[in-house]
Chains A and B, each alone.
Chain A
Amino acid sequence: MKSRPNLYTNYDKESAIFSNNTQKFWFAILFVLSISLCFIATDYWILLISRSLTFSIGAWGINIVSGLAGQITLAHGSFIGIGVYTAAVLGGVASNSVWGYELDMLIWLPAAGIVAALFSLILAPIAVRLKGLNLALVTLAFLFICSHVFSNFISVTGGAGIGRKVAKLVLFGVNLEEGLIFGNFLLEKNQIQYLMCLFLCMIMGFGFKNIVRSRAGRAYAGIRDGDIAAEALGVNLFRYKASAFALASFYAGVGGAMASTISGGVEPGLFNLLFSILAVAIIVIGGAGTVLGPLFGAFFYIMAPGLIQYILKLTNLTESALPLNLGQIEAILFGLCIILFLIFEPRGLWGIWFRLRNYFKAWPFSY
């Protein structure tokens, strides 16, 4: 069987997290490289990669509800916000205007996901009765309500235009804000943050993979491909649609809470409609419904400006010498990518990766 890596003799083997040794090997290589990266890369690149990893978690969330279960949502940004503010209240420092309990990360990180998931259950009864554009409109309304609450609930969010500091990085009672000292070696805060983001991303990534290959994952796919048929086959629509929203929001809350620790503070205006649309765009570019797609999409979105800047520096082109600034180039590039992917590669970056991988698997033969 070793010489036939693609021969599966049972369903469990086919749906295993790593279906063959080659995948295990490359994952191990990637893991070692990822760990070592935080000792090689500059602060700037560490920050970008950390942000990409946390965005991936949020993107996996919307991938569950939209990519897997086929439900359109524009409220993902709100659930990210709920997670961020749950973490900020539980793990942040109190001031004259905002609440903060300075609890451990072991409490605020899961709580961020759980609270977001609980709020998402408000949408569940509606999600069962509506679909398509109607559902999108309801989630849009939810987004506006949340946006209003975020802007005005000063004790929690600090208020619009001001914001608040986020949760402190304290794990098992150890304050990681100042870094960790091992003998003569100092592991700086950004390196710790990167490693945390990496491990969290791995855990959530494996979690997503498990959802896909579980009964729930198959039920979601059934709902996406035809909810009436799925119901006829015994899929409980209410249960699975509600769980899709709850799981998606859990991912959003956890990803948002972790991401907020990187930026240091958060202002309520961030969680607007554009932010939610961005989450959708990330999975469209990365590849909706796939495991690696959101990871690719998030990395593309976060890293693209940095890479453009890097290329400009390499080519001695300064930003002011160009007719457009970096923000405009980034926006145009991102918009263009969405259009091009929708037309030419609906499976997104994952689709390109899939074809490349298959090409090299079959190499030197063309198919």
Chain B
Amino acid sequence: MKSLRKQGIILFTILALVLVACGGDAVEEVVEESTPEVVETLDSPAVTTASTVKTGVGVTSDPCPEAIGSFPTGADPSKGCIYLGLINDYTGPYGALGPALELGQRSFWLWANTAGGIGDYSVAIVEGGDAQYNPAKHLEIYNSQREEVAALAMSLGTPQTLFILDELDKDDMVAAPMSWYSGYAYKDFDKGLIIEFGATYCAQGMNAMDWAAASLPVDIKKIGIIGTAGDYGGDWAKGVRAAAEANNVEVAWEYLPPATEFDVAQAVGLMVTQPVDAYFPALGPPQMAQVAGGAFQQGVQSIAMMAAPSFNDSFVREGFALAPLFNSKTMFVAAFVEPYEANTAGHAAMRATFEAVGQTTGNLFVTAGWASQYHLKGVLEAAIKGGDITRAGIRRAAANVDVQSDGMMVKRSLGQNRGDVETFIGVPSDKDEDGNTILSGITTLESRYVGPTAEARDWNAGPCS
């Protein structure tokens, strides 16, 4: 009896597997009817300026709280409130950056609310959730906020953001990113949900190489690239490599291991054993200091063209052991936005707001936090103008809208399958000519540099990596 039962189970299992396999084929044969995509713009009848505003999840007629946590929102008590979510990292590999980014974002909305808000609404970012750079936690935080917000002020981490893209899609939830992955500019990659801002890592890499070849007094013939595999290091390396090829510069080595396997000794070893005229690091600040310091200790001081996240203003401050190296004018920074001290209306508003709330920091991360909200603001304004501030309305507005950032970044149209390329180039400096401390730790060399490689690339062709 037992063996008969066993045989029965085996037969049933085989049959079930066969049926499942057959079932799969049947599904694949279904031909989906394709309907032409309706492209709605702010000028199309669906979203022309409306007298009434349709609202949805995350938008209330009640005013925003006066403060979220201990940070003031600057909300007008006579206006309604648009709530934005915040998926941040307070612990994990980017835990140290999270608070700085959030400071920039909250300060931005404090300023925007004080300046009149968005139509009849003020904007408040809810309490941030700590995703710990973990995809599961990321989704968890998203789920804890999805019922109370109209959009996300930040979704930190490219893989994490891409993993929850289906959920965002289902909820029509747009989000500001905090990375400059070249794929974010393309609807095939982000489903039109990510409101990107600033030059991509790839464009930054191209411009860094082109600028170094054209502007530095040294003849650069051989370079090295250091980073970690992924959207950041991978995108940057593609850009640098493309520009190197265009400039007939040899890429002597490329060290791009997985983040978990990055070995400072190996990176330093490459710099020492295979010297190059310049190296292009896309790292985090701790790794950057270790690599630069390690090589310097071995007597190697090549020109460094750093991707912005590699740099920290503390590198140039008195007391830091490597400050003389970082202040030596042989190291440069390529970034998506000009630093804290730049002379634009957006930067001025940022500085004034920071002073008003008693903040004395001015590093690239707070600037990034502030700048990240400009395009989101433009999208929300467009949605209000179109009379639909539901999530679907906000998403539609994000699909085709001109946004600006009070001069911080170039004016642009979202949803055009083309990312920004204008790159800031600067040199680390502790003090300016008058002896005043430069809060960002960077002096501007080029505000919006676009080299021939980035200029010539067909950006409509798709992302770099």
Contact = CB atoms under 8 A, between A and B. Distances in A.
Please say whether chains A and B are actual partners in one complex.
Answer: yes
Interface of A: 42-44, 47-48, 51, 102-104, 106-107, 147-148, 151-152, 159-163, 165, 170, 172-173, 175, 177, 259, 262-270, 272, 306, 309, 318-321, 325-328, 331
Which of A318, A321, A328 has the most CB atoms of chain B within a 10 A radius of its CB?
Answer: A318
Nearest to B128: A319
A44 B135 contact: no
A159 B229 contact: yes
Interface string B132-158: 101110111001101100000000001
Interface stretch (B161-169, B296-304, B326-334, B367-375): B161-169
A325 B70 contact: no
A107 B16 CA distance: 10
Interface in B1-54: 16-17, 19-21, 23-24, 26-27
A160 B23 contact: no
Interface of B: 16-17, 19-21, 23-24, 26-27, 68-71, 90-92, 95, 127-130, 132, 134-136, 138-140, 143-144, 146-147, 158-160, 162-164, 166-167, 228-234, 257-261
B17 A265 contact: no
Contacts of B160: 265, 267
Closest 9 CB pairs of A and B: A161-B230, A320-B69, A160-B258, A173-B23, A265-B163, A151-B258, A327-B91, A327-B130, A325-B90
Nearest to B20: A104
A159 B230 CA distance: 7
Contacts of A103: 24
B229 A161 contact: yes
Contacts of B233: 161
Contacts of A160: 228-230, 257-261
Contacts of A104: 20-21, 23-24
Nearest to A273: B260
A167 to B, nearest CB: 13
A325 B91 contact: yes
Contacts of A321: 69-70
Nearest to B144: A44
A148 B16 CA distance: 37
Contacts of A272: 260
Given A147-B260, A264-B139, A266-B135, A327 B163 contact: no
9 contacts: A43-B143, A104-B24, A148-B261, A160-B257, A170-B24, A173-B23, A267-B160, A319-B69, A320-B69
A326 B128 CA distance: 10
Contacts of B23: 104, 172-173
Given A160-B229, A263-B136, A43 B70 contact: no
B135 A270 contact: yes
B69 A318 contact: yes
A110 B180 CA distance: 39
A331 B257 CA distance: 29
B229 A264 contact: no
A259 B146 CA distance: 21
A43 B260 contact: no
A91 B361 CA distance: 48
A262 B136 contact: yes
B136 A259 contact: yes
B430 to A, nearest CB: 31
A47 B258 contact: no
Given A47-B139, A161-B159, A306-B144, 9 more contacts: A107-B17, A161-B231, A161-B232, A173-B20, A267-B159, A267-B160, A270-B134, A325-B90, A327-B91
Contacts of B162: 265
B127 A44 contact: no
Contacts of B19: 172
A263 B135 contact: yes
Contacts of A161: 159, 228-234, 258-259
Contacts of A259: 136
Nearest to A310: B144
